[in-house]
Amino acid sequence: MTLAILAILGGFILLVWSADRFVEGAAVTAKHAGMPSLLIGMVIVGFGTSAPEMVVSAMAAIDGNPDLALGNALGSNIVNTGLILGVTAVITPIMVQSKIVRKEIPLLLLIGLLLGYFLLDGALTRVEAVLLLVGFFTLIGWSIFSAIKSKGDKLETEMDQELVDHAMPLKKAIFWLVLGLVLLIVSSRVLVWGAVNIAHAFGVSDLIIGLTIVALGTSLPELAASVIAVRKGEHDIAIGNVVGSNMFNLLAVVGIAGVISPMSSLPEQVLSRDWLVMMSMTVALLIIAYGFRRAGRINRYEGVGLLIAFCAYNVWLVSSVIA
């Protein structure tokens, strides 16, 4: 038990550090290769901040724990929207100025509905997982197209400043990229091992562990990135990071895990509780951040509302375990 707890704590610390190095190395390497700043922000950073979820879920699926993988994806989205955006908005209200981010939020809602449709029968087949991955690559294509067509977007300006702040030689960037990826894999393996052992020791399902401990741990890079961004006045990076990560989680994280290990006989709570809460938070995000007849923003009161919803959901989870 002690070893499993140490594995989770050590895995979290190494995961957060390696994810930060991986994202920074990937972004700077892409800049050296001549990739536009906006494309780096939409694809490289979005993919990088979802790398912990992808690797952890893949490891869980390989180990025969697909419920943990799905719980990690859904739980990470709930953490991203409820906890991360809530905390960030309480610290500094978030202004949503990027036209691209405003387009991504409705798209996130549609992706969530697609996943819900796939889960209606209580399973996720390999064919459905492949379709999610097709959707992921389509999203990448759309992101590239949008980045090329949206010169001068507010997100581009903020990303330019970020790349200036993190400038480094190409060799150093590649070093951090490779080392970050290797340590991501190692820390994910350690984290999954510890989480599964804790779950079995306390008689808690892999799904609950994925929705709580693992989801929180793999979302820590997004939390750090969003808080730092909003304190620097880079509001669109803060919310764009979360929205992009949520789309990648539903398409790539669930898709990769489902291809490795198709999910059969999923707990009914996945759809009636976890997916429903995730979608409710996504709808709330659309309403408060999209900006109908006003500038898009998430103020402190709305941030508190997101935090209350996140806490209420976790109380629901704890009560279901005790019952």
Percent of the chain with pLDDT over 90: 29
pLDDT confidence bin for 232, thresholds 50/70/90:
confident
Intra-chain end-to-end CA distance of the chain, in Å: 24
HSE-CB for 26 with a 13 A CA cutoff = 21
What confidence score (pLDDT) does residue 281 get? 95
pLDDT confidence bin for 256, thresholds 50/70/90:
very high
Domains, the chain: 2-322 (1.20.1420.30)
pLDDT confidence bin for 162, thresholds 50/70/90:
low
Integer angstrom CA distances of residue 279 from 38, 108, 112, 158, 197: 28, 9, 7, 29, 30
What amino acid occupies position 321? V
Which two tokens mark 69?
Answer: 């993988």
DSSP single-letter state for residue 124: B
What amino acid occupies position 204? V
The pLDDT tens digits of the residues spanning 143-152 come to 777 777 766 6
Greater confidence (115 vs 212) lies with 115
pLDDT at position 62 over 80: yes
162 Cβ contact list (under 8 Å, min separation 6): 27, 41, 229, 234, 237
What confidence score (pLDDT) does residue 278 get? 96
What confidence score (pLDDT) does residue 10 get? 86
Which two tokens mark 110?
Answer: 């549609």
SS3 of residue 95 by DSSP: strand
The pLDDT tens digits of the residues spanning 276-298 come to 999 999 999 988 877 655 667 88
How many C-beta atoms lie closer than 10 Å to residue 24's C-beta?
21
What confidence score (pLDDT) does residue 103 get? 81
pLDDT at position 227 over 80: no
The most confident of 164-178, 190-204, 229-243, 260-274, by mean pLDDT: 260-274
Which two tokens mark 151?
Answer: 């010169």
pLDDT confidence bin for 303, thresholds 50/70/90:
very high
Would you state the torsion angle of the CA atoms of residues 66, 69, 70, 71, taken in this order, to the nearest 10 degrees? Answer: 120
What confidence score (pLDDT) does residue 164 get? 66
Helices within the chain (DSSP H only): 2-32, 37-39, 45-49, 51-62, 66-78, 85-91, 99-118, 126-149, 154-165, 170-202, 206-209, 215-231, 235-248, 254-260, 269, 276-290, 300-322
For 232, phi then psi, to 5°, come to: -90, 5
Q: How many residues does the chain have?
A: 323
The pLDDT tens digits of the residues spanning 77-99 come to 999 999 999 998 998 888 877 77
pLDDT at position 57 over 80: yes
